[in-house]
Structure 1
């Protein structure tokens, strides 16, 4: 029975990875909060618009602040960085896990996530809670506006 669940998980995960290759930065939620974390620019939005605004703010922030290390640029590096992170109950971004082939990409990802501003945390039953997310970055980076 466990092998069946593992096979199903791997199949579903491979579809997720394929879908993530369309854009340079993809963020997905893995929480059940009733309200997403709120950036100041998203303060007046509700439900799906708030969710969409959160994802866009994260993508734009990472694109604006992430610098591919020179050594990797010079070698025309192509690859992916996968990040598991949370916005804790205080509204602080925390990296939980980074999957990357190059140590420089891991350090750069940590640096960028350390620069995120504190935001309003997610809520559940009206109380602040943490929310976990996954993000996939395709290197070289392309902004959301450039991707067709």
Structure 2
């Protein structure tokens, strides 16, 4: 009898550690319904990639969640919320650039703030259009440092 209880307890522990609760890989439940979402990313009217992007929801609450994607060299991407390529929740997002380059380790370029809308039905033609931040916007900014010669 004791052996059966130990086997049952061990089975229960393995199930709990493996995440048998219907959640995602991190163990949390899927609280937001996602729709398929893919498209293209451009910078100054040219396909842009490879780069990592995060879409941060413009609204807060229980029905929002960040979506992310690794953008290919030709600018194409497929968004994921709980796991890679599982889509995004419909709504408005702010686009945040992550690392880029062959190993996604180079810093991203400076761009103007960009927002994107994921429609209720999702879609495969979502366009994220980035524009470079103007270096002359602030003469003493990090984008355009002013170096003065000593007299």
Scaled by the length of structure 1, the TM-score of the pair is 0.26
Q: Give the greater-gyration-radius structure (CA).
A: 2
Q: Which has the higher contact order (CA 8 A, sep 6+)?
A: 1
